[in-house]
Amino acid sequence: MNNKILVTGGAGYIGSHTVVELIDNGYLPIIVDDFRNSNPLVLDKLNEIVGQTVPFYNIDCTDKKKMDKVFAEHPDLMGVIHFAAYKAVGESVEKPLMYYQNNLGSLMVVLELMEAYKISNLVFSSSCTVYGEPKVVEVSEQTPIQEATSPYGDTKIVSEKIITNTVNASAQLKATLLRYFNPIGAHPSAKIGELPNGVPNNLLPYLTQTVNGIREVLTVFGGDYNTKDGTCIRDYIHVVDLAKAHVKALNWLDNQKLPVVESFNIGTEKGNTIMDVIKTFEKVNNLKVNYKIGERREGDVEQIYANTQKAKEVLNWSCEYSLDDALKHQWAWEKTLKK
């Protein structure tokens, strides 16, 4: 079996967990990452978990010449999982060009080289942000895509279009667009997890850093939403379950006839409020979270969670971990980090 998979952004949060699952399933991942939003130490930990040295290239994915060399060394790739992208909503509003240049630039390089080297299978990291503020809170893949609320969100919508048009014109390209909900948690070994640079934007790293004494207080953005306790609802999915969805997507893609470009929601089908998350974290870890209710954050959607029927039926994928598991693993990981 041709089992080599190029993983761009493979040292990142979702990328590193996916590399573990790829190896567990007999694939040979090759990582490309330039550590702009990750840490070289992740590779050591990854190698410890999998008991082998995962091939790695320190390359900017928008650098076509350097990326071409990687493809030239591995012309027999079975597929590419393209994670490498910026993902901070607020930063994207301040630096839109940086987001378009990196997120779209790296995608184009990947697609051009997949075409040039006749590589078939692309798994792309998309996001539930493509649904915007949905009219029905449980979104399926048929839920209309809406105007993006940030340049980051727009890069995901545009990327999906670029991939779709390229697949439709290609003689060999097939793709899945995985629309992630809110990934949380860490590997059960506590050897890898999320390593945000600077002040975290996302809820869970902010929460655990607060409990760890790095941040003083967690501000809950808005307590007056139209939900049971006034706080926003999201679909929080364990990062290992999300990682496993990539393996299922690759397996499925490889067996499809051309042309195929399919989107899949990857979530738990459960909506939890921020207060649910805080209370569950406190219960499973026997700890207190210092939090206060603050102003709403601009651009936040009130509530959204996934309908994942399609991923269940087509990819034969479903979640194995609970919110309790994710929050236990998240804390176990945070405790390994130095203050």
Burial of 186 (0-12, 13-18, 19+ CB in 10 A): buried
Does residue 140 touch ligand UD1 according to CB under 6 A?
no
Report cis status (omega within 30 of 0) of the bond before 144.
no
Say if strands 138-139 and 305-306 run parallel, antiparallel, or are unpaired: parallel
Does residue 10 touch ligand UD1 according to CB under 6 A?
no
Burial of 298 (0-12, 13-18, 19+ CB in 10 A): exposed
Stretch that binds ligand UD1, among 99-107, 191-199, 212-220, 315-323 (CB under 6 A): 212-220
Q: How many whole angstroms separate alpha carbon 267 and alpha carbon 276? A: 17
* Min separation Cβ 47 and ligand UD1, Å: 27
| 19: nearest Cα among 112, 86, 83 | 83
Instruction: Return phi, psi of residue 263, to 5°.
Output: -100, 145
- Residue (30 or 241) nearer to ligand UD1, CB: 241
Taking the CA atoms of the chain, what radius of gyration do you get in angstroms? 19
Q: Which of 13, 27, 131, 152 is catalytic?
A: 152
* Min separation Cβ 145 and ligand UD1, Å: 13
Judge contact between 33 and 11, C-beta under 8 A.
Answer: yes
* Min separation Cβ 298 and ligand UD1, Å: 10
Q: How many whole angstroms separate alpha carbon 231 and alpha carbon 273? A: 6
Does residue 206 touch ligand UD1 according to CB under 6 A?
yes
Say if strands 174-180 and 121-127 run parallel, antiparallel, or are unpaired: parallel
Does residue 242 touch ligand UD1 according to CB under 6 A?
no
Does residue 289 touch ligand UD1 according to CB under 6 A?
no
Pick one of 115, 269, 300, 325: the residue that binds ligand UD1 (CB under 6 A).
300
Q: How many whole angstroms separate alpha carbon 147 and alpha carbon 95? A: 19
Say if strands 28-32 and 4-8 run parallel, antiparallel, or are unpaired: parallel
Does residue 80 touch ligand UD1 according to CB under 6 A?
no
Does residue 232 touch ligand UD1 according to CB under 6 A?
yes
Q: Is 258 helix (H, G, I), strand (E, B) or coil?
A: coil
Q: Which amino acid is at 171?
A: A
Task: Write out the binding residues for ligand UD1, residues 243-272 only, by CB under 6 A.
Answer: none
Does residue 89 touch ligand UD1 according to CB under 6 A?
yes
* Min separation Cβ 35 and ligand UD1, Å: 18
Stretch that binds ligand UD1, among 12-20, 22-30, 190-198, 294-302 (CB under 6 A): 294-302
Does residue 203 touch ligand UD1 according to CB under 6 A?
yes
Residue 152 falls in the annotated catalytic set? yes
- Residue (289 or 314) nearer to ligand UD1, CB: 289
* Min separation Cβ 44 and ligand UD1, Å: 25
Point out which residues bind ligand UD1 (CB under 6 A): 87, 89, 127, 129, 150, 153, 182, 201-203, 206, 218-221, 232, 234, 274, 297, 300-301
The catalytic residue positions are: 152
